[in-house]
Amino acid sequence: MIIISRIPHEIKTRVYAVQTYRNTKCSVSFICRKYHCSKASLMRWNKRYDGTIQSLMDKSHKPLTKHPNSHTDSEITKIKNFIKRNPHIGLNELYTKLRTEIAYSRHYASLYRILKKIGFYKDNKPKRKKYTPKPYLTPQYLGEKWQLDVKYVPRSCYTSSVPHDDKYYQYTVIDEASRERFIYPYKEQSSYSSIDFIKRAISYFGYKPRCIQTDNGFEFTYFKDTKRIHPFDVFLQSLNIEHKLIKPRTPRHNGKVERSHRNDSERFYKYLKFYSFDDLLMQMKKYLYRSNRILTSVLNWKNPIEKRNELINLGYTHYNLSLIHI
């Protein structure tokens, strides 16, 4: 059964329906089917129509008289005078004074509604400007910037053979130019895992990047300003790689890797069941191979591997081509 929502008819539809009814020999049922209206509506329009469009326009449904229990003009005047004499008075205190001084007998909610109607509760706070993100220039050269992040492996993927207290983490890095990714699971989220992951990523891609962008997680940097240098920074400095931190609590600045994690949840973890860490590693390797070969619109319907080869052929690389091992 198809339910059609009741949408008000346009004025021209009403005019055409009435003119068809008056000037043709069509039956009422035919006109109602043609213009999607009821017989009662057609008869009402025909009675009101005097040849002008204004006669068929909707009339106000506002009551002609006030509700018998509504606030009287004298009550509203007294309330306004109370507010003028006490501009900073609260609602509870105002309600108390009205009841004790003028025998105000209405309900608390009724007072709130009338105060809102006369503009007592105006929002004087300045409206915040809508955030408009700054244009982001995506690197055009392979290896110019990597985005790095960590994702929890959902417990819903655990089977009975996996200890429920164990935690697993997916490290992910993505080349911004080609959108090619590398992922690897770890049993701990630490600076040691971060360093080991970058070593594996460089081995996988065949080159090292100019810059790695991360959030402010403890596995990448220290929370507070300190003279100590984080082990992850020490490692990157030894490889002459720049470490860029995004603004705190703004994951959108690492949007490419965050979006890839969302895809992982929909394509991989939604259906994943693993029985051990080795099983998770094996299934993750298979998924990585598949995910890097999915066509995407942002790459003009190429997959990351094809985009990588295209950039290499065009010479859009940030590194020496002799370092590449495909």
Task: Supply the DSSP string of 30-45, one letter for each residue.
Answer: HHHHHHT--HHHHHHH
Q: Cα–Cα distance between 284 and 75 in angstroms, integer?
A: 73
pLDDT at 133 over 80: no
Domain shared by 157 and 112, yes or no: no
pTM beyond 0.75, yes or no: no
Domain shared by 109 and 181, yes or no: no
Residue 92 lies in a domain: yes
Q: Cα–Cα distance between 208 and 319 in angstroms, integer?
A: 8
pLDDT at 1 over 80: no
Residue 207 lies in a domain: yes
Residue 263 lies in a domain: yes
Kindly state the percentage of the chain with pLDDT values over 90. Answer: 56
Quick one: pLDDT at residue 324?
Answer: 43
Quick one: pLDDT at residue 321?
Answer: 45
Give 2's pLDDT tier (boundaries 50, 70, 90): very low
Kindly state the percentage of the chain with pLDDT values over 70. Answer: 94
pLDDT at 149 over 60: yes
Contact 94, 82 (CB under 8 A): yes
Q: What is the pLDDT of residues 71-127, one digit of tens each?
A: 888 888 888 888 888 888 888 888 888 888 888 888 888 888 888 888 776 666 777
Domain shared by 237 and 317, yes or no: yes
pLDDT at 5 over 50: no
**What is the CATH classification number for the domain harbouring 170?**
3.30.420.10
**In which domain, by residue range, is 111 found?**
73-117
Domain shared by 189 and 284, yes or no: yes
Residue 40 lies in a domain: yes
Q: What is the pLDDT of residues 257-300, one digit of tens each?
A: 999 999 999 999 999 999 999 999 999 999 999 999 999 989 99
Quick one: pLDDT at residue 21?
Answer: 92
What is Dmax (Cα atoms) for the chain?
A: 93
Domain shared by 194 and 289, yes or no: yes
Quick one: pLDDT at residue 155?
Answer: 94
Domain shared by 232 and 103, yes or no: no
> Average pLDDT, stretch 235-264?
94
> Average pLDDT, stretch 296-314?
93
- Tally of structural domains, the chain: 3
Residue 20 lies in a domain: yes
150: three-class secondary structure by DSSP: strand
CA end-to-end span of the chain: 58
pLDDT at 151 over 70: yes
Q: Cα–Cα distance between 325 and 74 in angstroms, integer?
A: 88
Which segment of 56-70, 101-115, 232-246 scores lowest on mean pLDDT?
56-70
Residue 44 lies in a domain: yes
Domain shared by 193 and 284, yes or no: yes
Quick one: pLDDT at residue 124?
Answer: 64
Domain shared by 107 and 18, yes or no: no
Residue 249 lies in a domain: yes
> Average pLDDT, stretch 182-211?
96
Domain shared by 179 and 242, yes or no: yes
Contact 275, 159 (CB under 8 A): yes
Radius of gyration of the chain (CA): 34
> Average pLDDT, stretch 165-177?
96
> Average pLDDT, stretch 3-12?
61
- If one compares 261 and 322, the residue with the highest pLDDT of the two is 261
pLDDT at 12 over 70: yes
Residue 133 lies in a domain: no
| Cβ-proximal residues to 38 (8 Å cutoff; 6+ apart), any chain | 32
Give 3's pLDDT tier (boundaries 50, 70, 90): very low
As a whole number, the mean pLDDT across the chain is 88
Quick one: pLDDT at residue 325?
Answer: 42
pLDDT at 7 over 80: no
> Average pLDDT, stretch 20-34?
91
Domain shared by 155 and 101, yes or no: no
Domain shared by 156 and 299, yes or no: yes
Domain shared by 235 and 311, yes or no: yes
pLDDT at 192 over 80: yes
Contact 208, 202 (CB under 8 A): yes
